[in-house]
Structure 1
């Protein structure tokens, strides 16, 4: 048994632009899947029009609430299967994603893991930011509590100025505008902030500006998938 880590698009209707042939081949070879969302995964495979009979496939949910035993039992039950695919809700499995659990258990059991190339908003944002790609950290979500979030932003801004390490983080889409306001307010005026919004979509953009410049014209990021970066 081998585990395919199968990326999927991060923007709608972009499969033909962002998915390399290796992903299509892997999907054609795979009949059993661990997926973050069954409905989304079924639609993703179906829309590729690979001639796969969706009803013949086996899916098991692997989301933030999935326990290790569920994955272990799935591997044991389907140990005779040649390939098992792991599919995220969007982007690359295992990167800021519950798929990491499937990979961790596979590594513990000496099951071969095959990561496939595909879109990652984190890496695409870093690539387009102009910030250091030699030293960077993905923070995940900043604290929800206002005071704690402000302290974290101040700390990240100081770390960038002192060490030059790029700081990457995300927010729930409906709180994007509030986060940008906090970044503008708490970062030094000359600090550079990059916003990677709707990456790979026709409406997407990756822009880096000083905090003071973002303050003059704040984009509306409400309910849009975004990556935020601080760097130099």
Structure 2
């Protein structure tokens, strides 16, 4: 069989106080854990977090290769900041990272949390794998965007992930108005994320900018004991401050809005 590129989701608790508290098999099914335990070659967003992930896997499924003997390479830093979804120079770098696969080794692709190549870098590696004739196999595990969408009550038949909005107050307000108008016109749910320490500012901007009749959902700490999800019309968010107070905004969050 040709070498395979496995897309391995990782737990959503990295970067939180629960990182080492939850057994990894609460997040990942048996097949995903078994593949993770046998792989010795990895392409990752962050090598340190991948080693921490593998230590958690080892507690459930003993690793076939000691971590110190594994081949773990990081995606270029440019991919973290700008993404690698646009074909170009990133594809050449990704092809070089797949050298072990061309030598017959199966390779795992991981991000710091959730599914690689979705709201995270990694798509260039997937394109390079297809170009090289490698089998690409996504494995089962948590994807925060889909969990949040399912719990939002918003349109799950038509939606768009728009990533981050500008940090400048004026530019952010203009972008949110554009997205809101599009959502109202088409019915398409808009999905955003933000760095946790800026979650409060984004929520303020959403409440100040969106139409009062727009539905806004915020999902914080998905899958964690502190998980909170609130979904209501913007006018109800404003008149019911307890909704905001119930949110764990210091944790990773997904913001969604639409009709």
Smaller-chain TM-score bracket: over 0.9
Match of 2:252 among 220, 225, 231: 225
Whether 1:57 and 2:66 are equivalent positions in the alignment is: no
C-alpha displacement at 1:63, in angstroms?
A: 4.7
C-alpha displacement at 1:29, in angstroms?
A: 2.7
Unaligned segments of structure 2, at least 5 residues: 14-18, 80-89
Please give the secondary structure, in 1, of the residue aligned with 2:78. Answer: coil
Match of 1:7 among 6, 9, 12: 9
Match of 2:34 among 5, 25, 36: 25
Please give the secondary structure, in 2, of the residue aligned with 1:137. Answer: strand
Alpha-carbon spacing, 1:182–1:14, altered in 2? closer, same or farther (3 Å): farther
| 15-24 vs 58-67, which moves further | 58-67
1:111 alignment partner in structure 2: 134
1:93 alignment partner in structure 2: 116
Question: In 2, are the aligned partners of 1:3 and 1:111 still within 8 Å (CA)?
Answer: yes
Question: In 2, are the aligned partners of 1:195 and 1:226 still within 8 Å (CA)?
Answer: yes
Q: Counterparts of 1:84 and 1:104 in 2: how far apart (Å)?
A: 14
Question: In 1, are the aligned partners of 2:91 and 2:127 still within 8 Å (CA)?
Answer: no
Question: In 2, are the aligned partners of 1:35 and 1:63 still within 8 Å (CA)?
Answer: no
Please give the secondary structure, in 1, of the residue aligned with 2:98. Answer: helix
Unaligned segments of structure 1, at least 5 residues: none
Q: Counterparts of 2:101 and 2:186 in 1: how far apart (Å)?
A: 47
| 216-225 vs 20-29, which moves further | 216-225
C-alpha displacement at 1:152, in angstroms?
A: 1.1
TM-score scaled to structure 2, two decimals? 0.84
Whether 1:37 and 2:37 are equivalent positions in the alignment is: no
| 66-75 vs 85-94, which moves further | 66-75
TM-score scaled to structure 1, two decimals? 0.93
Equivalent positions of 1:67-216 (< 5 A) are: 67-215=90-238, 216=240
Q: Counterparts of 2:123 and 2:228 in 1: how far apart (Å)?
A: 28
Q: Counterparts of 2:23 and 2:198 in 1: how far apart (Å)?
A: 25
Q: Counterparts of 1:32 and 1:76 in 2: how far apart (Å)?
A: 10
C-alpha displacement at 1:158, in angstroms?
A: 1.4
Alpha-carbon spacing, 1:14–1:186, altered in 2? closer, same or farther (3 Å): farther
RMSD across aligned positions (CA): 1.7
| 65-74 vs 80-89, which moves further | 65-74
| Structure 1 runs of 4+ with >6 Å offset | none
Question: In 2, are the aligned partners of 1:8 and 1:44 still within 8 Å (CA)?
Answer: yes
Between the two proteins, the alignment pairs up a number of residues equal to: 232
Question: In 1, are the aligned partners of 2:226 and 2:248 still within 8 Å (CA)?
Answer: no
